[in-house]
Amino acid sequence: MEVGFLGLGIMGKAMAVNLLHHGFGVTVWNRTLSKCQELVEQGASVGETPAAVINKCKYTIAMLSDPSAALSVVFDKDGVLEQICSGKGYIDMSTVDAETSSKISEAITKKGGYFLEAPVSGSKKPAEDGQLVILAAGEKALYDKMVPAFDVLGKKSFFLGEVGNGAKFKLVVNMIMGSVMNALSEGLCLADRSGLSQQTLLDVLDLGAIANPMFKLKGPAMIKGSYPPAFPLKHQQKDMRLALALGDENAVSMPIAAASNEAFKKARSLGLGDLDFSAVFEVKHDARHFSKDQNPRIASYAAFALYFFLCSKASKPAAVANTRFLLLELVLAMGPRLHKGSQLMSFSSFEVSLLLG
Ligand SMILES: NC(=O)C1=CN([C@@H]2O[C@H](COP(=O)(O)OP(=O)(O)OC[C@H]3O[C@@H](n4cnc5c(N)ncnc54)[C@H](OP(=O)(O)O)[C@@H]3O)[C@@H](O)[C@H]2O)C=CC1
Ligand SMILES: O=CCCC(=O)O
């Protein structure tokens, strides 16, 4: 089976590689065309535009960042609509809202093509391992044709009926996931501030009724302040926003999701949007202090070393002023905590960039 693949981000690349490794012929396109090279080395062909890919392939999958990207690839010049025609299928696996999906569906079916939305649950690793959960809706005949590809990409696929149902399902799932991530972040923060071990909290959670793969996978990295992007925070915030709009439409009160969305927005405003969505923890726990599980002495030495280095080297008065401000914050942060003898301030990357800028 020959398929086209539009969008080689974190997910698209892993999915396209998976299809190649399972014997599919794959023709790829990505807005930043240079990202196609790695796929070419693994046997893919390249289409110069979305239209060129559609022209070549009977079935084309898209995995794009958000509604505006999904619409642009279909409707803009050299887009999908220019070549879609009777007998061709377009499968959008991006996470978008039902309205976006319906617009795309209508335009494609008007030209005689088939449309399926098929957003996925599961992140980078499940995408690499073919363990996604596929939430498909739209043209059933196209779904049936795509089952062999879905069997490679996922561990389970659902056909959910008319266009929009897959998109809505995905938003509900991610709304829950984003809210749970906020709850975990607050729990880790509360444990730490109460003098408890965050690692022990993770161990306790893992043995109880709310044990789940997300806590197990992300929790240990979060307490180290490490957020390598598997699911970028900016996409999680997009999903919260779209889920809240779905709540508006249906008059569903969602105060927990709304508060979680605010935390993700705050994280984006701090420049954390490209990190993993677990970086929302930085907003909760006030990145200015180290947990007991880390080494506070190293933090204080590092802070003072940076202070003296900048005082001696910085020609910019602003940098010196910022350094003084941070030192003041350090002293303030140390005050209430020193009696516990355990916790000190650290610099967030945001503050370091302020300093250097
Ligand atoms: N990462 C994850 O864990 C999961 C993500 N998803 C969803 O899958 C989709 C892709 O996610 P992910 O791979 O993580 O995202 P990335 O940010 O890694 O990739 C986004 C892709 O969209 C392309 N793109 C962005 N804007 C445009 C545009 N205007 N026109 C054309 N192409 C564009 C990017 O191209 P370029 O390289 O040129 O920037 C890139 O190929 C999103 O909808 C996300 O919500 C779903 C499940 C899990
Ligand atoms: O949309 C992203 C979902 C990420 C996940 O299911 O782990």
- pLDDT reported for residue 194: 97
Average pLDDT (63-68) is: 98
- pLDDT reported for residue 109: 98
Ligand 2 mutation pick, 63, 123, 218, max ligand atoms within 8 A of CB: 123
Q: How many alpha carbons fall within 13 Å on the CB side of residue 1? A: 18
Structure tokens at 251: 């008059």
Q: 29 and 56 in contact (C-beta within 8 Å)?
A: no
For the question of residue 313 being annotated catalytic, the response is no
What rounded mean pLDDT belongs to the chain? Answer: 89
| CA 291 – ligand 1 centroid, Å | 33
CB-based burial, 206-232: b 16+ in 10 Å, e otherwise: eeeeeeeeebeebbebbbebebebbbb
Percent of the chain clearing pLDDT 90 (strictly above): 79
Q: What is the ipTM of this complex?
A: 0.99
Average pLDDT (55-73) is: 98
Of 13, 88, 170, 284, the active-site residue reads 170
Sequence-ordered list of residues with C-beta below 8 angstroms from that of 225, at least 6 positions apart, any chain: 282, 287, 294, 346
CB-based burial, 142-155: b 16+ in 10 Å, e otherwise: bbebbeebbebbbe
pLDDT digits (tens, 9 = 90+) for 260-284: 999 999 999 999 999 999 999 999 9
Q: 78 and 50 in contact (C-beta within 8 Å)?
A: yes
Residue 236, pLDDT above cutoff 50 = yes
| CA 272 – ligand 1 centroid, Å | 16
What global pTM score does this model have? Answer: 0.84
pLDDT digits (tens, 9 = 90+) for 23-62: 999 999 999 999 999 999 999 999 999 999 999 999 999 9
| CA 120 – ligand 2 centroid, Å | 7
